[in-house]
Structure 1
Amino acid sequence: MNGMSGSRRLASPVRITLKPTLGGDIDGAWWPHSFALARELPELIEALHPVLGEIVDIKINWSSSSGTPVLKTLTSGAVSMHGWNDRQHRLMIVSGRTGCARLLVVPSSTSVNLGRLVIRRAAAMDPGAEHDSSMCDIADAVIRAAEAECSLWSAQLLEAAAKVEASAP
């Protein structure tokens, strides 16, 4: 899977964005088409292979028992952020032989307009012509919160790795 020389044609292309330069708290976003992330993971790995090289590790900050955050738009630009306030953002650190990417995982149930904005803003891309300022503000707020959370999570991972290294004979 990881070193595939040919590519498959997908019925639903992988929705992923990456910043031109990786290494920030958030390097981009992945917006799966369904809640069945494991089914879409091979396509994500295939999409990241040219940028990161052979994928050797994927870390996630959620468990199978944690609820999925939901981000739904309501009328007049208001947004209900069920789960985005009381549950952590879903984040992934995908490590390859030549690079690493920190991704925000956008819930598949996110509205099309908001989902597009969030993945574009996660990669520091212009929101495009279809944006509305209140939706851009929401997308930017989601990204800022995810960056803060990813920074904290990365620090915890480094601390845990240092403890393991220090206890090794």
Structure 2
Amino acid sequence: MPLPRLTLTPDVSHGPLDGAWWPRCDALELELPSLVSSLEAGTAATIRVTVDPAEWPDAPHTVMAPGRVIAVEPAQPGSGAHVITLDCGTAGHWVLLVVPPGAPAGTAARLLAAAADPENPLTAARMPALADKGRPVDTTGDAE
């Protein structure tokens, strides 16, 4: 069974992240429509996405999706490394760790699980560094 490409924290409580997303490629115009639909944002919702311009240098300003237009904006410098923020109006607001599309499946699985853990104190900027070391992500804040 293929790994899920999106994990979310439970509704009860969350830390600095609401989950993680592992896109199949780095083309936002191809990936955003399915991400937004998986978050169950109604078609009437206004959708605004903020991305790290260093990680998405060719991000379009708008992405067309069935029944909607998704506005894509660059994050302020230093505020959005490894993160995508989705504001879907009344449907919700999510801050997701972005697992690089080319990440090995084991690394992606660890990051998806750790980012969705409501007890996880790690920041998005630190999680990929731990995964790059090939060590499991530990929710106490240290690599094993």
| TM-score, scaled to structure 2 | 0.56
Partner of 2:98: 105
1:117 aligns with 2:117: no
Are residues 24 and 57 of structure 1, via their aligned partners in 2, closer, same or farther at CA, if it must alter by over 3 Å? farther
1:26 aligns with 2:55: no
The one of 37, 42, 54 aligned to 2:45? 54
Q: Percent identity?
A: 27
How many pairs were matched up?
99
The one of 58, 82, 87 aligned to 1:90? 82
**Higher strand residue share:** 2
**Higher helix residue share:** 1
RMSD: 3.2
State the shift of 1:118 in Å: 0.3
Are residues 93 and 107 of structure 1, via their aligned partners in 2, closer, same or farther at CA, if it must alter by over 3 Å? same
1:135 aligns with 2:135: yes
Partner of 1:38: 29
State the shift of 1:140 in Å: 4.3
Give the gaps of 5 or more residues in structure 2.
59-79, 119-133
Are residues 116 and 14 of structure 1, via their aligned partners in 2, closer, same or farther at CA, if it must alter by over 3 Å? closer
With CA pairs under 8 Å and 6+ residues apart, which has the higher RCO, 1 or 2?
A: 2
Give the gaps of 5 or more residues in structure 1.
1-11, 67-87, 126-133, 145-169
State the shift of 1:34 in Å: 1.4
| TM-score, scaled to structure 1 | 0.49
Give the letter aligned to residue 19 of structure 1: T
State the shift of 1:101 in Å: 0.7
CA distance in 1, matches of 2:4, 2:46: 16
Are residues 55 and 105 of structure 1, via their aligned partners in 2, closer, same or farther at CA, if it must alter by over 3 Å? farther
Larger Rg: 1
- Tell me, yes or no, if the aligned pair for 1:33 and 1:108 is still in contact at 8 Å: yes
State the shift of 1:17 in Å: 0.4
CA distance in 1, matches of 2:3, 2:38: 10
State the shift of 1:61 in Å: 2.4
CA distance in 2, matches of 1:48, 1:124: 18
Tell me the secondary structure at the aligned position of residue 117 of structure 1: helix
Partner of 2:57: 65
Are residues 62 and 23 of structure 1, via their aligned partners in 2, closer, same or farther at CA, if it must alter by over 3 Å? farther
Partner of 1:15: 5
